[in-house]
Chain A
Amino acid sequence: MGSLTRKLGRVMGAPGALLLLASMVACVVALTLPFYRGGMASTSDALWRYVSSSFLWLAVLRSLSWAILCSLSLAFVAILVVKDLRRTSIRFGWQFIFVASPLFFGTVNRLFGLVAILRDYGPLNNTLVSTRLLRVPLPILDTEWASILGFLLLSAPIPVGAMLVALRDTDGRFTRAAQDLGASDDQTFWLVLVLQGERALTAAASIVSILICGDFLTPRLLGGGGTAYLATLTIDSYLGPSRSLTLSAILSILLLATTTLSVLLTRIILRLCIRVRAEWAGRKDGRTRGIRLPWTALWLFANYLPPLAVVIYSFNRSAYSVFWRGFSWAAYNDIFFTVDPPERRALFVTMIVAMAASVLAITMSVGLAMALRDSSAMEALLKIAHRWQLLAPEVILGIGFATGVSVFRIRLGLSTLVLSHVIFITAFDAAILGIGLKPTLLRLLEVAEDLGAHSRDLYLRILLPLLQPYLIAGFMFGLLLSIDNYVVTQFSRGARDITVPTLLAATVRHGLDPSANALATLAMIASLTFGLVAVRFVIGAEAAAKVNHWRKLK
């Protein structure tokens, strides 16, 4: 790395780096405080027996194995889906929207959509029974299989999106060269494209692994609560009936270790699998053997079905999303035309926070991603803080944030809410941009620096244009994380800042009514519109102009 590039990373990355370091310090303090406060004596006999009981370690094993298995299978399905998508003539932007939009309906609502579909007397079982494929309805709901289905569906779009972005960034000339040299389609795909997208795919699989390890909603809403996962036990020890600071600190450390282990294993196994598959593609003579399932069709169907249920039930006349009682606009009418309904306030706060946080985070993370590439003692510390931020359980991040803020006697409100979102989004954004900072790009920066380029040119004419797909992906992912966040939000919002996920969490007790579904639909429309407008006019147009300019120079 050239000195100018390094300086650029340090200056531009400083705010993000400071936030990450501060967050880590606060979290570590919050995590160790319970042990100091009561002394180790507070870890009583009952606590010790809880920690050493078999259900806890079974839960650890379960979280670990399902996180690894689900993220691996999603990564492989993503490769197949992307392979099909690249054959179509749909533009990249539309492909990306098509893949990512189910995510924007929010976790709670997508899970409820799935519940509505999977019920014993729901549409899926009714279809299966009426077509005589089954004699009695299959009780899928409230079993472990339902949780796994939930894990898979919730994060299915993430690896596909990552792969699409990475493949857009590859040089088409390699593909053409391979084809000219007589490689089959399959060989070109696996040996040229997939290997180039491998970094993005492993990163996406790691993110999925992190999300599944921390997911406490799916086992509760779909799995019937009968099987313990480490995340459900941990969240219960903070916000549930077993609320106890010492127990929650112990469980959080365990969850942190489990998440780390699952990410490490996922990365190793995925790399190995891709290598083996590519090797295999290279060896055989081009024909694809075996049964080809219509993966893409299946994938799209499964991903769009729960959001479809959400939209349909938002027009239901009933107060519950169980039976269809006729078409009604009432839910939308309530949100738009009554005086101060909580749904409208939640939508408003959520959108303001998501917009501010995702814009700030993506701005800060370009420099941060550069700084993370550096190699010095300070950067090593920064790397630890970054990984900590990615891997630590959300509750720890939330408690750490609340602790840190209370030291400075700052009142929780809209600004602290935005700040907390900026911190955790920045970590993910920096990880995504890190995929884009390939050795060739860093070399390019070095060369430009040697040729006397100004740091402004390095940043605006080389870095931003070449990172464009990753900027878009990071920005959209940040938007998504913000509108969907529940746990950190609970520790950083003020009394008046009610957001969509916090409102939905309180509504689940009653059962999701049409207004909750309407809320999810509106949140999806608003965030996707904002995301696309921002991408199109701010990041997209600018970066595209820069690319053209750069190409002309070349």
Chain B
Amino acid sequence: MNFFRSTTRRSFVKGGAGLGLVTLTNSCFKNPTQQTAKERRLNLYHWRYYTGKNTISDFEKQFNVRVTTDYYASNDELFGRLTATPGQYDLIVPSDYMIETLIKNTMLDRIDSRRLKNLDNIEGLFRNQWFDPQNEYSVPYMWGSNGFGRNRKLVPSPVSDWDSLLAEKNRGKVGIIDDFRFTLGAVLKHIGLDANSISEVDLNKAGRYLLGKRQVIRTFSQDTPKEQLIAGDLSLAYGAGGDILQAAVENPALAYDLPSAGTIIFQDGMCIPKGAPNLDVAYDFIDFILRPEVSADITNTVLYGNPNHRARQLIRPDILNNESIFPSDDYIKNKCSHIHWIDDSAKALYARIWNEIKAG
């Protein structure tokens, strides 16, 4: 008898707790848009904090869509997740070399440019790039550069190249991003070689350059070391421009310098992965982002460069006139390089040399 009584009590308690929890969570998490019967949805896969404050909610309101955003931390994570979950995401925003990789792996849907009314807003400089020569698979979103973050109080004079970044007087105060393509690429450029070189001789030269200055570097940060720059643990850093400029909002002593000899830039594009369940909404979203006011709002928030020429007049003048966010067309065209796709054995070569540098 005891057994039966106790099971009923247990199941009662269990059921009761479960029920209570469900009602509790339902009442807490009820969403006003949840009730509409035939609602349009968008499964967006995006970088964290890479839109304006109200970009998504404005889109939801104007197009009567419910957007579910998921976030990735790196292009490679995006690739891994996309192979694991085919046919689930509607829109992704990878960077240039990842767009190239995704096209190579036939993971992207062709974009029908006739369905995008605002496509003409994109400046010619950012169209038909090498990774997507006819812009068949991607629509430019934002672009940015990698450069030097500097704490003006600790390092008063601008840093214009890698020699002055890794000078002995900055020992233990420099952080660089732990991404061998962006970092070795920039060093290759600095010593006058191709930023995408996969020749071992070239890479060894870049490796030797960094190895000689290894003791100056304190941090190999997974991403731009924003917080350490803000806190003053680092006085110099090599990382993504927008991130450094965002950190400068928190700590006004921070500045962003571009290497005078040129640097690595990246361009992120909106792409539709194969088998996207809500194709129409994805096109609506791309067209919405292409609107000048929406695009300008994103740049005003995240401080990255904008490929939308009609958005320029809506961008805050202090951002628009900042040479390091909007460098001259000549600098972009002639001095900057993008990262290109490389094969597995080239990756192993890069990884080995990079890890040998880190080991010192």
Contact = CB atoms under 8 A, between A and B. Distances in A.
A145 to B, nearest CB: 14
Interface residues of B, number: 76
B17 A496 contact: no
A243 B76 CA distance: 7
A411 B220 CA distance: 37
A297 interface: no
A55 B222 contact: no
Contact of B218 (A142, A319, A496, A498): A142
A322 B231 contact: yes
B347 A224 contact: no
B201 interface: no
Contacts of B178: 220, 225
Interface stretch (B24-32, B126-134, B162-170): B24-32
Nearest to A509: B223
A401 to B, nearest CB: 9
Interface string B28-67: 1101110000000001010111000000010000000010
A243 B342 CA distance: 11
Contacts, number: 225
Contact of A227 (B85, B88, B358): B358
A239 B231 contact: no
A223 to B, nearest CB: 9
Nearest to A355: B21
Contacts of A242: 180, 347-348, 350-351
A241 interface: yes
Determine which residue in A55, A227, A545 has the highest number of CB atoms from chain B within 10 A of its CB, and name it.
A55
Determine which residue in B48, B88, B223 has the highest number of CB atoms from chain A within 10 A of its CB, and name it.
B48
Given A243-B80, A538-B13, A542-B10, A511 B226 contact: yes
Contacts of B246: 510
A72 to B, nearest CB: 26
A4 to B, nearest CB: 17
Interface in A195-237: 220-221, 224-228, 233, 236-237
B125 interface: no
A244 interface: yes
Contacts of A490: 77, 80-81, 84
A411 B57 CA distance: 28
B222 A220 contact: yes
Nearest to B339: A241
Interface stretch (A45-53, A164-172, A181-189, A262-270): A45-53
A456 interface: yes
A412 B358 contact: no
Contacts of A402: 84
Given A495-B68, A496-B43, A506-B47, A50 B348 contact: yes
B345 A120 contact: no
A320 B352 contact: no
A236 B73 CA distance: 13
Contacts of A247: 344, 347-348, 351
B20 to A, nearest CB: 10
Nearest to B349: A46
A351 B29 CA distance: 13
A510 B49 contact: yes
Interface string A311-326: 0000000111111000
Interface in A51-78: 53-56, 58
B346 A46 contact: yes
A400 to B, nearest CB: 12
A47 B77 CA distance: 22
Contacts of A93: none
B358 A228 contact: yes
A541 B32 CA distance: 40
A276 interface: no
Contact of B221 (A225, A228, A493, A533): A225
Contacts of B33: 339-340
Given A241-B347, A538-B10, A542-B6, A496 B227 contact: no
Interface in B229-255: 230-233, 243, 246-247, 250
Interface residues of A, number: 90
A15 interface: no
Contacts of B328: none
Contact of B344 (A44, A49, A533): A44
A339 B232 contact: no
Given A243-B76, A342-B71, A495 B85 contact: yes
Given A241-B76, A490-B80, A44 B68 contact: no
A348 interface: yes
Nearest to A512: B227
A225 B219 contact: yes
A211 to B, nearest CB: 20
Given A243-B80, A348-B29, A139 B172 contact: yes
Contacts of A233: 355
A441 interface: no
Contacts of A530: 21
B356 interface: yes
Contact of A507 (B48, B68, B180, B220): B48
Given A227-B358, A239-B80, A318 B180 contact: no
A427 B352 CA distance: 35
Contacts of B338: none
Interface of A is mostly: helix
Contact of A120 (B29, B233, B355, B359): B233
Contact of A508 (B28, B73, B180, B356): B73
A240 B231 contact: no
Contacts of B43: 495-496
Contacts of B217: 226
Contacts of A239: 74, 76-77, 80
Contacts of B181: 241
B23 interface: no
A333 to B, nearest CB: 14
A494 B88 contact: yes
A244 B221 CA distance: 21
B222 to A, nearest CB: 5
B84 A412 contact: yes
B326 interface: no
A246 interface: yes
B266 interface: no
Interface in A469-511: 490-496, 498, 502-503, 505-511
A326 B241 CA distance: 28
Contact of A225 (B79, B222, B349): B222
A49 B351 CA distance: 11
A58 to B, nearest CB: 7
B89 interface: yes
A122 interface: yes
26 contacts: A44-B344, A44-B348, A46-B348, A46-B352, A49-B352, A50-B349, A54-B359, A141-B228, A225-B219, A242-B348, A243-B76, A243-B80, A246-B344, A320-B227, A321-B227, A339-B33, A340-B66, A351-B25, A402-B84, A457-B3, A502-B71, A506-B47, A506-B48, A511-B226, A530-B21, A538-B17
Given A50-B351, A241-B76, 13 more contacts: A42-B344, A45-B345, A47-B348, A53-B355, A55-B352, A120-B232, A122-B231, A227-B358, A242-B350, A342-B71, A491-B84, A505-B73, A511-B227
- Closest 9 A/B residue pairs (Cβ): A225-B220, A506-B71, A495-B88, A242-B351, A46-B345, A44-B345, A244-B344, A55-B359, A46-B348
Interface of A: 42, 44-47, 49-50, 53-56, 58, 115, 119-122, 139, 141-142, 220-221, 224-228, 233, 236-247, 318-323, 336, 339-340, 342, 344-345, 348, 351, 355, 402, 406, 411-412, 456-457, 460, 490-496, 498, 502-503, 505-512, 530, 533-534, 537-538, 541-542, 545-546, 549
Interface of B: 2-3, 6, 10, 13-14, 17, 21, 25, 28-29, 31-33, 43, 45, 47-49, 57, 66, 68-74, 76-77, 79-81, 84-85, 87-89, 172, 175, 178-181, 217-224, 226-228, 230-233, 243, 246-247, 250, 344-352, 355-356, 358-359
